[in-house]
Chain A
C-alpha cells in the first residue's frame, strides 16, 4: 500500500490498558504512533522508560471494532479477543490517532474483497451519501420513518451516526422542540421524542457525549419529556437538571473543563437512571456507564494531582474557623471521591489514598465519626470502610504509627464507636471495619469466606492454608489482644454477675449481637490467639448466658456461636463445651420452643443434627451421659433418639438389651443427672419466663413429673396459639402421646421404637446430583450465564468489566441453544438482564465490544 495517509507519527503520550480478569490492567505509559508499511497499518506504543520496548503493536483491521470515547480514549478488541484501550494525555493526540485509524479503515474497506467480513447480508455497505430530510417541523414524521428504516442494519446505524455528527443534526433538531411546544403539537413532540430515543440508542459514544453538553442537553431532554408510551404525561427533566442548587461545590475548581465534566457526568447519570431507565438496551447502558466511568477517572485524577486544591479541601476540616456546614460538605465531597475510587484500578486507588492520607484523610475520618450528626458519622465510617477495604495493611501501618506516637489509634476510636454509637448503621460498619482490620494476611474476600465458612465451617477450618504470617499484621493482631480486646469485649464480660437479662436494653442487644459476631469471626480466623483469649476471659460462658436472653434473635446469635464452635471440630472448643455443660442451655431452648416449629427451634435441631451427621463422638458421649433423660423426652424428631442410639452402640451395648439401663444409672456416672438438673434450675430461677414456661419450670423437678408437664405445656400452647400451631406440627408433636405408656414405664429404653440410623441413602438420593456444585462452578467459570458464580468473582461493584467479548459470544450461543431447546423464554430474558447487569459492572468492556455485538443482541 502506498502511503495514502500521512502516518500519525508525532509522538503522543498515552497509557495502554488491557482487560484482564475483568479489570483494566495498566500495561504502562509510552508514546503512540501510527505507521503504515507493506500494506499494513499499525498502532505502536513505545515505552516511556525503555524506548526500545514496545508496549503495543497492533494491526489495524477493517472491522469496525474501534471506538473513540470522549476526547482522549480509543477502545477496541484485538483479533485475539482481548479488549484494549489507549488513554491519551492530550485530546489532539487522540484525535490524530483516531483520524489515522479511520482513514486506514476506509482505505481497507475500499479495497475490501469478496471474503470481506463485511459482506454479510446485513452489512451491505450503506448507499452513500446518506441523507435525512432537513430538520423541519413538517418533516418530523418523515425523519422518524427514515431513521427507523436506516437503523435496521449495522451499516445503516453507523452511517446514520456519522451523518448525525457530521451534519450537527441534533443541534438543528433542538429548536424544533420549542416550536412544537409553542404550537402545543403533541404529535410533533412525540415524534421528536422518538427521534431522540433512536439517536441515543444508536449507541454511539460520540453522540451521547454530545447530547450531555451544556447547549444541547436541555433540548434533547426536553423532547424526551414527551414519551408517546405515556401520552398523558409530561416529565419534568429540564426543571430537575436546570436546578443548579443540586451541585454542591465545596471549593471552586479552577479548570472549567473539569467542572463541565462534573456536570456532564451528572446528566449522564440522570439520563441513565431516570430518562432512559425503561428503554435502555444493554449496549447503550454499557456506553453510558463507560462514559460516566471515564469522566470520573478524569475528574479524580485532576483533583488528586492538584495539590493546592487538596490542601485547601482538607484544610477546611482542620480550620477551627470554618463553619460546620462547610465541613460537612467537605466530608461529603471526600466520601464521593472514595466512592468513585472503588471503581478505579488498584494502583490508581492507591495513589489517591496515599495522596489523601498525606493531606490528612485520617483527621477527616476522626472528625466525621465523632460528629454529632448521624449522617456525618455514616459518611465517616463509609470513607473508613472504603479505605480499609482498599488496603487493610496500609491502614494498619498508620495505626502503628499513631501507637508509636502515643496517639489514640484508630482501632480504639472504632471500638469506642462500636460501643457507644446509637445509629445502627454506623455501629454495623464499625463492627465490620474492626473485623477487616483484624483479618489475617490475604484471606479470600470476606464475604465469600463468610458464607463458605458458614456452609462448611468444619471443612474450611481444616483445609484453608494457614496464611503466611506477615510480621506487621501479626503484631497488629497481638496488640489488639493485648490492649484493645478487653475494652471491646468489656460489655460481654460485664454480663458475669448480672442478675438478670430481663432489663437488657435495645442498644445492649445490638451491641451483644455485634460482639458475639466479632468473636465468631476471630475464632474462625485467628486460631490460637482467639482460643486463648476466649478461654482466659471465659467468653464462651458469657455468651452462654445470652442463650437465655429474652430477645430471641440474641439467643439465636449466641446459639450460632456454639454451632460454629462445634463446626470447627476443635478439641479445645469441644472440651470447653463439655466441661462447662453448655448443652444444658441449648436443650433449654429446645424445650422452651419445642411445641412450636419456629426458627430458634430449627436452629437448635440443626445443631444436634450436625453432631449426629458428623458423628462427633466426644460430644455425643457427653450429651448422652449428662442429659440422657432430657434427650429421651424429645421425640418429635428422631435426632435425639439417634444420638442416644449412637452412644449405646459406642459403648458396645446391644441396644435391645436392658444394659442401657446401666449406662444411665451406672457407677461410672454417679451424681450426674441430679447435678445437671441442679444447674439447670439455678440458671432458670433468675430469669423471667413466659407463663407457659413458668408453669413448666415451677413444677417439681423430679424427672418422672417432667414429661407430663411438658405435654401439658404443649397442649396449652396449642390452644393459646391457634395460629402459630400448625396442624402438621401438631400431629408430629402429639406423636409421643401414642407412646405414653412406653415412655412412662421405661423411660430409659429409647429403643422401644426402633430407630434406624439415617445413614442409608434416602430414596431421593438414589438419583444423586450429577456432580458437586463446586466442580460445576469451576467448569463454568468463564461462562457469564453463571449467575451466582459470577457474583463470587466480582468483589467490588463497578470494579471493572466482566464481559469479555469471548464470554459474550458464548452467552449468545448458549442463549440460542437454550431457547431452541426449551422455548422457555424466561431464561432468555433472564440472561438478557443478567448480561445487562454485567455490563453495568463492566462498562468499559461492554463499550469496547458493543460495536458489533450490540446489534446481534438487539
Chain B
C-alpha cells in the first residue's frame, strides 16, 4: 500500500495525516493543477457536486450514494472548507483522491477557497486547532490558488442510462423521453419528468428527413445511431460548471482562459464574479447583496448559453432546501451537496449525474467553447439547446456517526 493510499484510508476514517505528508500532497496537487486549464474539460459520464463545507460525514454519504472514486467520475464545484467541523479532512481527502486518480475527479475553486474567507469562517481555526500552527492552512491556501475556475462537461447524453446501482430491481430501460429523474439515497426513483412537448416537437421536425427513425438515439450497440440530428440532437450539449455564476466581463468561455487565476480571489473582476455571482429573477445584471459578484437574470444566462453553445450551466454557492434547483427554463441549475447545512439548516443535498453519449461511438463534438465555430452549428432560430438527461440523487445528512457527534476538535492544552 503506497503512502498515498494509506493517507486516503486514514482520511476516509476522518483522521488527520501528519503535517509533512500534507505538505507533500499539496505540492503534488499543485503540480497537477498547474497543468489544468482555467476551464477544465471533462468528459461525461460525470457526477457534479456542489458545496461540501467541511461536512466530512456527509461527503462520505455522498460517495455512498453516488458511487466511489474511481468507479464514478466526480466534479466538485468548490467550497470544500469552512463552516463544518471537518474542513481539513474533507479537503485533504478530495485532494488525495485528485492526486491518486487525477482524471477521475475534478476540483474547481469556490469563494471559500481563499485566505481571507477561511480566516473568518473556520478553516483557519480548524488547522490551528488540529496542527497547532498555521502551516497546514498555508499549504492548503497555496493549493487553492491553483484550482481551476470552472469546468466544461462534454459528451453528455440527452437520455438517461439506467442507474448504475439498480441491483434490486430488474434493469428497466429509462424511457428516452425522460429528461430529469430524481432518486433518493436508497436508489429509488421518486420522480421523472419528460422533455417538454415543445422540445419533442422540435426534435421531430429536425428528424423529418428520415421518417421512421426514432427522434432519440438509443444506447450504443442498439444500432440506433442515426445521425439525423447530428450532435445536436443525440448529445445533451455542453455543460459549464462554475461555483458562482456569470460575469459581465466574460461573454465567452474562452475569455475565462485569459485570466491569470493564480492569486487570492480578488474583490472584483471576472475571477471574483465567477466565484461569487448568483442567478436571480431579474432582467440583466443586478447588485449582489453579498458585496461581491453580481446577480444575473434569465436573459443573461440564455444569451450566454446560446453564444457558447451550452445546454446548461451548473453551479453551487447557494443553499437550496431541496438539494438542487433548476431555473430559467432549465438553463441553469444550482446543486447543493451539504445536507443539514451547518448541522442545523434541515435541508437535503443533491448530486447531479450526467450520462455519457454513446451514440457516436464516443466521438465528441468539438465545437463547444469556440464561439466562432459554434455559431455555424446552432440552429438559426435560436431555440435553446435541449439539455442533457439529468439524474439528481437526493440524500440526507449522514446517519449518526458511531464515533461521536460532530464537534470541533477542542484545544489540546492551555496556558491561559
Chain A interface residues toward B at CB < 8 A: 227, 229-230, 232-233, 235, 240, 246-250, 262, 265-266, 269-270, 273-275, 277-279, 296, 299-300, 329, 332-333, 336-337, 340, 375, 378, 382, 423-425, 428, 447, 450-452, 454-455, 552-553, 556, 560, 563, 596-600, 602-603, 605-607, 609, 637, 639, 723-724, 726-732, 762-765, 767-774, 776-777, 780, 785-792, 794, 797, 814, 818, 822, 824-827, 829-830, 833, 837, 841
Q: How far is the CA of A231 from the CA of B34 in the complex (A)?
A: 47
Besides A274-B409, A602-B261, A763-B251, 7 more A-B contacts (Cβ < 8 Å) are: A269-B411, A278-B406, A599-B37, A728-B152, A728-B366, A731-B367, A762-B251
A424 partner, pick from B138, B260, B285, beta carbons under 8 A = B138
Query: Is A727 within 8 A of B318, CB to CB?
Result: no
Contact (A340, B416) CB under 8 Å given A451-B264, A791-B120, A827-B318: yes
Contact (A279, B344) CB under 8 Å given A336-B415, A602-B257: yes
- Which residues of B sit under 8 angstroms from A229, Cβ to Cβ? 400, 405
Is B119 an interface residue when CB atoms closer than 8 A count as contact? yes
Contact (A275, B37) CB under 8 Å given A605-B257, A728-B370: no
Write the nearest CB–CB distance from A82 to chain B, whole angstroms. Answer: 25
- Which residues of B sit under 8 angstroms from A599, Cβ to Cβ? 33-38, 146, 261-262
- Which residues of A sit under 8 angstroms from B38, Cβ to Cβ? 597, 599, 602
Query: Is B266 within 8 A of A451, CB to CB?
Result: yes
Write the nearest CB–CB distance from A17 to chain B, whole angstroms. Answer: 22
Write the nearest CB–CB distance from B269 to chain A, whole angstroms. Answer: 6
Q: How far is the CA of A763 from the CA of B294 in the complex (A)?
A: 17
Is B329 an interface residue when CB atoms closer than 8 A count as contact? no
Q: How far is the CA of A246 from the CA of B152 in the complex (A)?
A: 51
Query: Is B41 within 8 A of A729, CB to CB?
Result: yes
Where chain A touches its partner, the secondary structure class is helix
A274 partner, pick from B116, B154, B267, B407, beta carbons under 8 A = B407
Is B66 an interface residue when CB atoms closer than 8 A count as contact? no
Query: Is B34 within 8 A of A605, CB to CB?
Result: no
- Which residues of B sit under 8 angstroms from A296, Cβ to Cβ? 416
Within 351-371 of B, Cβ neighbours of A (below 8 Å) are at: 364, 366-370
Which of these binds chain A: B9-17, B128-136, B217-225? B128-136
Query: Is A454 within 8 A of B263, CB to CB?
Result: yes
A385 to chain B: closest residue by CB: B134
CB pairs A–B below 8 angstroms (11 shown): A279-B344, A424-B135, A602-B261, A763-B303, A764-B251, A767-B299, A788-B290, A789-B292, A824-B318, A825-B320, A829-B345
A551 to chain B: closest residue by CB: B31
Contact (A768, B285) CB under 8 Å given A336-B416, A425-B133, A827-B318: yes
Contact (A728, B368) CB under 8 Å given A246-B412, A602-B37: yes
Within 310-347 of B, Cβ neighbours of A (below 8 Å) are at: 318-321, 336, 341-345, 347
Q: How far is the CA of A826 from the CA of B83 in the complex (A)?
A: 14
Q: How far is the CA of A249 from the CA of B116 in the complex (A)?
A: 34
Write the nearest CB–CB distance from B30 to chain A, whole angstroms. Answer: 6
Is B100 an interface residue when CB atoms closer than 8 A count as contact? no
B405 partner, pick from A278, A337, A375, A600, beta carbons under 8 A = A278
Query: Is A275 within 8 A of B407, CB to CB?
Result: yes
Query: Is B34 within 8 A of A425, CB to CB?
Result: no
Query: Is B251 within 8 A of A770, CB to CB?
Result: no
Query: Is A774 within 8 A of B342, CB to CB?
Result: no
Is B164 an interface residue when CB atoms closer than 8 A count as contact? no
Q: How far is the CA of A270 from the CA of B407 in the complex (A)?
A: 10
Is B408 an interface residue when CB atoms closer than 8 A count as contact? yes
- Which residues of A sit under 8 angstroms from B267, Cβ to Cβ? 451-452, 455, 773, 788, 792
- Which residues of A sit under 8 angstroms from B367, Cβ to Cβ? 731
Query: Is A375 within 8 A of B258, CB to CB?
Result: no
Query: Is B415 within 8 A of A248, CB to CB?
Result: yes
Query: Is B408 within 8 A of A273, CB to CB?
Result: yes
B258 partner, pick from A606, A729, A780, beta carbons under 8 A = A606
Write the nearest CB–CB distance from A63 to chain B, whole angstroms. Answer: 30
Which of these binds chain A: B173-181, B185-193, B276-284, B386-394? B276-284
- CB 8 Å contact bits of B268-301 with A (1 = contact, 0 = none): 1100000010001100111101111010000110
- CB 8 Å contact bits of B56-95 with A (1 = contact, 0 = none): 0000000000000000000000000001010000000000
B340 to chain A: closest residue by CB: A278
Q: How far is the CA of A350 from the CA of B300 in the complex (A)?
A: 53
Query: Is B36 within 8 A of A425, CB to CB?
Result: no
- Which residues of B sit under 8 angstroms from A777, Cβ to Cβ? 291
Contact (A248, B413) CB under 8 Å given A278-B406, A425-B138, A825-B319: yes
Query: Is B120 within 8 A of A780, CB to CB?
Result: no
Query: Is A830 within 8 A of B319, CB to CB?
Result: yes
Query: Is B120 within 8 A of A598, CB to CB?
Result: no
Contact (A824, B257) CB under 8 Å given A598-B36, A791-B116: no
Write the nearest CB–CB distance from A480 to chain B, whole angstroms. Answer: 25
**7 pairs of A and B residues whose beta carbons are closest in the complex:** A826-B319, A764-B251, A726-B41, A425-B135, A786-B291, A597-B37, A789-B291
Query: Is A728 within 8 A of B276, CB to CB?
Result: no
- Which residues of A sit under 8 angstroms from B33, Cβ to Cβ? 599
Query: Is B303 within 8 A of A829, CB to CB?
Result: no
Query: Is B41 within 8 A of A277, CB to CB?
Result: no
- Which residues of B sit under 8 angstroms from A455, Cβ to Cβ? 266-269
A557 to chain B: closest residue by CB: B262
Query: Is B303 within 8 A of A230, CB to CB?
Result: no
- Which residues of A sit under 8 angstroms from B34, Cβ to Cβ? 552-553, 556, 598-600
- Which residues of B sit under 8 angstroms from A824, Cβ to Cβ? 318, 320
Q: How far is the CA of A789 from the CA of B292 in the complex (A)?
A: 8
Is B5 an interface residue when CB atoms closer than 8 A count as contact? no
B149 to chain A: closest residue by CB: A602
Write the nearest CB–CB distance from B25 to chain A, whole angstroms. Answer: 14
Q: How far is the CA of A760 from the CA of B239 in the complex (A)?
A: 28
Write the nearest CB–CB distance from A600 to chain B, whole angstroms. Answer: 7
B259, B260, B287, B405: residue with the most chain A Cβ atoms closer than 10 Å: B260
- Which residues of B sit under 8 angstroms from A774, Cβ to Cβ? 268
B36, B281, B416: residue with the most chain A Cβ atoms closer than 10 Å: B416
Q: How far is the CA of A423 from the CA of B37 in the complex (A)?
A: 31
A266 partner, pick from B254, B373, B414, beta carbons under 8 A = B414
Write the nearest CB–CB distance from A201 to chain B, whole angstroms. Answer: 13
Query: Is B258 within 8 A of A333, CB to CB?
Result: no
Is B304 an interface residue when CB atoms closer than 8 A count as contact? yes
Query: Is A764 within 8 A of B250, CB to CB?
Result: yes
B142 to chain A: closest residue by CB: A553
Contact (A787, B304) CB under 8 Å given A451-B267, A556-B262: no
Q: How far is the CA of A300 from the CA of B257 in the complex (A)?
A: 52
Write the nearest CB–CB distance from B74 to chain A, whole angstroms. Answer: 15
Is B307 an interface residue when CB atoms closer than 8 A count as contact? yes
B41 to chain A: closest residue by CB: A726
A731 to chain B: closest residue by CB: B366
Contact (A337, B258) CB under 8 Å given A425-B135, A789-B291: no
A296, A425, A723: residue with the most chain B Cβ atoms closer than 10 Å: A425
A266 to chain B: closest residue by CB: B414
A776 partner, pick from B120, B291, B410, beta carbons under 8 A = B291
A729 partner, pick from B37, B405, B407, B412, beta carbons under 8 A = B37
B264 partner, pick from A450, A598, A732, A776, beta carbons under 8 A = A450
B249, B261, B267: residue with the most chain A Cβ atoms closer than 10 Å: B267
- Which residues of B sit under 8 angstroms from A639, Cβ to Cβ? 258
Query: Is B23 within 8 A of A424, CB to CB?
Result: yes
A513 to chain B: closest residue by CB: B142
- Which residues of A sit under 8 angstroms from B4, Cβ to Cβ? none
B327 to chain A: closest residue by CB: A824
Is B230 an interface residue when CB atoms closer than 8 A count as contact? no
Q: How far is the CA of A467 from the CA of B13 in the complex (A)?
A: 54
Query: Is A603 within 8 A of B407, CB to CB?
Result: no
Q: How far is the CA of A64 from the CA of B71 in the complex (A)?
A: 60
Q: How far is the CA of A505 from the CA of B241 in the complex (A)?
A: 38
Contact (A814, B407) CB under 8 Å given A606-B260, A826-B318: no
Write the nearest CB–CB distance from A241 to chain B, whole angstroms. Answer: 9
Write the nearest CB–CB distance from B133 to chain A, whole angstroms. Answer: 5
Is B194 an interface residue when CB atoms closer than 8 A count as contact? no
